[in-house]
Chain A
Amino acid sequence: AQSVTQLDSQVPVFEEAPVELRCNYSSSVSVYLFWYVQYPNQGLQLLLKYLSGSTLVESINGFEAEFNKSQTSFHLRKPSVHISDTAEYFCAVSEHGGGFKTIFGAGTRLFVKA
């Protein structure tokens, strides 16, 4: 069975500092990987995804994540965060052949301080 581990429940960081949110997964088959962001009392928005090809994927708002198969990781990074990046971030995985069924990590609360 697949699982997703987000190693940090909360990450406080000052504005304009770099940040990394860690995600590790386990699966016996090939996977697709996702990062979602959730603002208070809202649904999830897709931030970026890895389906195939280049292991480095980027979002339009400066986030990037790198798929590392040997370490089974998909860490999310941003070189300089803004106050508006404060939100809950979820790493998720779905297995090839799994019919779109997605398992989510526990989430990481990113809190950007002025």
Chain B
Amino acid sequence: GAVVSQHPSRVICKSGTSVKIECRSLDFQATTMFWYRQFPKQSLMLMATSNEGSKATYEQGVEKDKFLINHASLTLSTLTVTSAHPEDSSFYICSAVPRQGAFGETQYFGPGTRLLVL
């Protein structure tokens, strides 16, 4: 089946530093990837839609300068949290849609990255 990986799985950083999270589709090409944020005991909130070769589309209220998204290839999207602060601590999850997927095709989710900003 389709597998999506995320790296790192867990990261602890100091306030003010930047953190990069990678999302890779391991056995398929993905023209579209999504980035979600999940607070403890809450649902997933869509942050942005990442399309290969173009700028990401951010949801309302998400700071594009703080959460930099790069979708440089059909198998890799990165999320960089710039100048991280404790309130950015969260569980970040990516998902990928297969390139040949029919409309309404399933998204495949990564295992998530736990970010803790001290």
Contact = CB atoms under 8 A, between A and B. Distances in A.
A62 interface: no
A45 B109 contact: yes
A42 interface: yes
Given A45-B109, A51-B104, A99 B43 contact: no
Interface in A15-55: 32, 34, 36, 41-46, 49, 51
The size bracket of the interface on A is 20 to 34
Nearest to B106: A46
B52 to A, nearest CB: 14
B44 interface: yes
Nearest to B93: A43
The size bracket of the interface on B is 20 to 34
A36 B95 CA distance: 13
A107 B42 contact: yes
Nearest to A44: B109
Contact of B43 (A34, A100, A105): A105
Interface of B: 4, 6, 32, 34, 41-44, 46, 49, 93, 95, 97, 101, 103-112, 114
Interface of A: 32, 34, 36, 41-46, 49, 51, 90, 94, 96, 99-107, 109
